[in-house]
Structure 1
Amino acid sequence: MTRQKILITGASSGLGAGMAREFARRGRDLALCARRTENLVALRTELLAAHPGITVAVRGLDVDDHAAVPKVFDELRAELGGLDRVIVNAGLGKGARIGTGRADANIATATTNFVSALAQTEAAMSIFREQKAGHLVLISSMSAVRGLPGKKAAYAASKAGLTALGEGLAIELRGTPIKVTTVQPGYIATDMSGRAGDTTLLTPLDKGVAAMVAAIEHETVRASVPQWPWRVFGAVMPLLPRALMARIS
């Protein structure tokens, strides 16, 4: 099945913009939203110049404004004439060691990555239940596989919650025309990964996005991307002793 009309949140840069470029190359119509509307407008101009046969709708959206999320989704749905797939991608990578005076950073990350993702999921699922079809995609992280120490603790916990949400929905909706995919990327080269200092096993953005889009198109229930080495890491990480995990900071 071709999901022609695709909404992507957090589409102004990084993985969101990368996925928008790849889906545009495949001829899909796009609804793009993010806080930085000037980046969205520039991206729309770029995509329409390269692929004049597609439709690209853009809206400013702060996903932490939970009341605005369903309104913006409905506006974009109306402009595109429907939505076949919603990719919940907007996220934060801030964090500090818990109890060191930076509760604001950890709470902001947990709010955006889980509570605001839940708000987006509610809005998307409301549309899909009404039309009795659709594909929900949650962009989680390989950090969801195992609790991480130090400044990554809140981030990993927020992504673990998102993965659990996707799993619960996938179980509930099995055998129905509403599909759910949870994508767990490893370290992919974006501004967020650069700020976090994650350079080990870093995957170039184009390769990482290609792996993500391939998993999304296959509508895999859960995918670690790129498969090598992250599928192996996903199997091994829960088995590692805590003393070894403690070296990750």
Structure 2
Amino acid sequence: MPRTVRANILITGASSGLGAGLAREFAARGRNLALCARRLDRLETLREELVSANPGIRVAIHSLDVTDHDAIFRTFRSFASGLGQIDRVVVNAGSGRGASIGTGRFAANRETAETNFVAALAQCEAAMELFREQNSGHLVVISSIAGLRGGRRGAGVYAATKAGLSTLAEGIRLDVADTPIRVTTIEPGYIRTDLNAGATTLPFAVDVATGCRALARAVEREPASAYVPGWPWRVVAPLYRIAPAPLLRKFL
């Protein structure tokens, strides 16, 4: 059976990093885009770039802070109204701030927890409302290899939120398994973006362009879950899950 073409794709956190990279990949495939992020000026610049490089596509943009949960529902419905419907939602917006627990950085850790999990939950809720009404759609959540194990220092809360997000996506997938709605969990390895610019250890890291090409290919396949890039993470991830703690400390 031919795979469904998802013509209208909504991406959160689209002003930079993986979100902007995915927008470029899907625009090159001729898809219409609904892009949202806090920085409207960057979205405007990105829209100009995409429409210029890919004549014929439609690119809608909207300023959105995903910690404003009510705004998520309004924005998603506004996009759906403007484009006719939304066929795929990529839950991508996230935060990488944080510090070791108990070191006086609760505010930063809370921000990451609220952005990466509670706000992601709101995005999933808003997307699934649209998809249930349409009886079609593809929900994609951008989790992380980091969610496979606990993390040290600033990665501690980040890893916990990504583990929670992966589990949430699996639950949604089980819930709609007998419907036309698809749910994909993407677990990227280390892709160099502004989010991890200060990191000193990024094993097997790739640049944004390489990472986003692999991300787009994985999303288009619509698997239940995928490690990205596939090599070496399909091999490394199972080992990462069982690696002894002293070994993990050398790499995290």
Letter in 2 for 1:246: R
What root-mean-square deviation, in Å, do the aligned CA atoms of Structure 1 and Structure 2 show?
1.0
- CA distance in structure 2 between the aligned counterparts of 1:200 and 1:123, rounded to whole angstroms: 35
2:8 match: 5
| Residue aligning to 1:127 | 130
Name the residue aligned to 2:221: 218
Q: Post-superposition shift, 1:248?
A: 3.8
Map Cα deviations across residues 80-122 of structure 1 (whole Å, 9 max, x no partner). Answer: 1110000000000111011000011111001100000000000
Mapped contact 1:181–1:220 kept (Cα < 8 A)? yes
| Cross-structure match for 1:68 | 71
Question: Secondary structure at the residue paired with 1:32?
Answer: strand
Displacement of 1:149 after TM fit? 2.2
Q: In the alignment, which residue of structure 1 is the partner of 2:89?
A: 86
Q: Which amino acid aligns with 2:142?
A: I
Tell me how far apart the structure 2 counterparts of residues 60 and 206 of structure 1 sit (CA, whole Å).
24
Q: CA deviation at 1:198?
A: 4.0
TM superposition shift of 1:124: 0.2
Query: What is the CA–CA distance in structure 1 between the aligned matches of 2:79 and 2:246, rounded to whole Å?
Result: 48
The CA distance in 1 between the partners of 2:149 and 2:210, in whole Å, is 24
1:6–1:87 contact (8 Å) kept in structure 2? yes
1:145 to 144, 148, 152: 148
TM, length-normalised to structure 2: 0.96
Aligned length: 249
Q: Is the 8 A contact 1:31 1:58 kept in 2?
A: yes
Q: Does 1:208 align with 2:234?
A: no
Structure 1 residue runs of 5 or longer lacking an equivalent are none
CA contact (8 A) 2:201 2:251 kept: no
User: Partner amino acid for 1:119?
Assistant: A
- Identity %, equivalent residues: 53
Aligned to 2:159: 156
| Aligned with residue 198 of structure 2, among 182, 195, 208 | 195
Q: Give the one of 34, 39, 57 matched to 1:31.
A: 34
Q: Please, which runs of 5 or more residues in structure 2 have no aligned partner?
A: none
Q: Please state how far the C-alpha of 1:199 moved relative to its aligned partner.
A: 3.7
SS at 1:92 equivalent: coil
| 1:10 aligned partner, one-letter code | G
1:201 shift after superposition: 1.6
- Please tell me whether residue 231 in structure 1 is matched to residue 241 in structure 2: no
Q: Which moved more, 1:182-191 or 1:169-178?
A: 169-178
Q: In the alignment, is the contact (CA less than 8 A) between 1:110 and 1:158 conserved in 2?
A: yes
Q: How does 1:148-187 map to 2 (within 5 A)?
A: 148-187=151-190
Matched residues in 2 for 1:78 and 1:94: separation?
34
Asked if the contact 2:11/2:19 (under 8 Å) is kept, the reply is yes
